[in-house]
């Protein structure tokens, strides 16, 4: 009796994953039909309306990705989802991501402005903390920029805690610049 609805639901979920995969294949091209301006606009609109499910799929899909243009474009699409992308990004960042995946997710966060009085601020800050002191300088840099999604005093506190320990002069300068921008 329940088979029909259950199969139907499974089929819908598969259709959705197939659609996400097809749209994912359009990301990051500089030539061919997917590089055309109209198609880029369509891609942005698709992902911006993909909601939490689309964000979760995309953030997870990056685990298998290594192409720099695709990683960058996917980060841009996640950022276009704004607040809906934060929980899926946090979930992936806490699930032992690959280096490339983590950098792309942190980059996406850097483009999502902090929401005032967001309930997830504490979790987000706690998620960023290990990346801010990571051995990989690229991940530290991405995490410093990702504090933009935390914003305000909490972001300043996170960065102030790093000021004496960061040995890379470029990253020290980035920390100082970020603190100045959050304090303005």
Partner 1 sequence: MWLWRNARRARWEHDRDPENPEHVGEAAKDVSLRNERGELGLSVFRVETTAEAQRVAILYASTLLDRPGKLDYMMAPSQCFENLELVVSHRPVEGLYPYLSERHYEVMGLDESVSLALARELLASPERVVVRIRESELIAELRKLMVKEPLLHHFVGEAWRNLL
Burial grade of 62 (CB within 10 A; 0-12, 13-18, 19 or more) = buried
Q: Which of 57, 86, 105, 107 binds partner 1 (CB under 8 A)?
A: 107
Smallest separation, CB 36 to partner 1 (Å): 6
> What's the CA gap between 70 and 76, in Å, rounded?
10
- Which of 55, 79, 132, 149 binds partner 1 (CB under 8 A)? It is 79
By CB under 8 A, tell whether 113 contacts partner 1: no
HSE, side-chain direction, 13 A CA sphere, residue 18: 6
Taking CA atoms, 116 is separated from 83, 153, 157, in Å, by 11, 11, 16
**Residues of this chain, 34-63, that bind partner 1 according to CB under 8 A:** 35-37, 40, 44
* Residue 101: alpha-carbon gap to chain centroid: 9
Question: Is 110 an interacting residue with respect to partner 1 (CB under 8 A)?
Answer: yes
User: Binding string to partner 1 for residues 119 to 158, with x set by CB under 8 A, is what?
Assistant: -----------------x-x--x---x-------------
Closest residue by Cα to residue 128 from 143, 112, 115? 143
Q: Which positions touch partner 1 (CB under 8 A)?
A: 25, 30-31, 35-37, 40, 44, 66-70, 72-73, 76, 79, 100, 107, 110-111, 136, 138, 141, 145, 170
């Amino acid at each position: 009796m329940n088979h029909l609805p259950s199969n139907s639901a499974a089929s819908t979920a598969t259709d959705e994953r197939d659609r996400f995969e097809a749209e994912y294949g359009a990301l990051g091209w500089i030539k061919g039909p997917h590089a055309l301006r109209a198609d880029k606009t369509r891609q942005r609109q698709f992902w911006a309306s993909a909601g939490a499910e689309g964000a979760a799929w995309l953030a997870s899909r990056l685990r298998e990705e290594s192409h720099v243009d695709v990683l960058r474009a996917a980060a841009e699409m996640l950022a276009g989802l704004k607040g809906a992308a934060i929980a899926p990004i946090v979930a992936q960042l806490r699930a032992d991501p690959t280096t490339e995946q983590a950098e792309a997710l942190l980059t996406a966060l850097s483009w999502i402005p902090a929401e005032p009085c967001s309930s997830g601020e504490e979790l987000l800050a706690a998620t960023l903390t290990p990346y801010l002191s990571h051995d990989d300088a690229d991940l530290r840099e991405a995490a410093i920029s990702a504090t933009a999604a935390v914003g305000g005093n909490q972001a300043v506190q996170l960065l102030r805690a790093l000021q004496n320990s960061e040995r890379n002069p470029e990253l020290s300068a980035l920390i100082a610049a970020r603190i100045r921008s959050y304090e303005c």
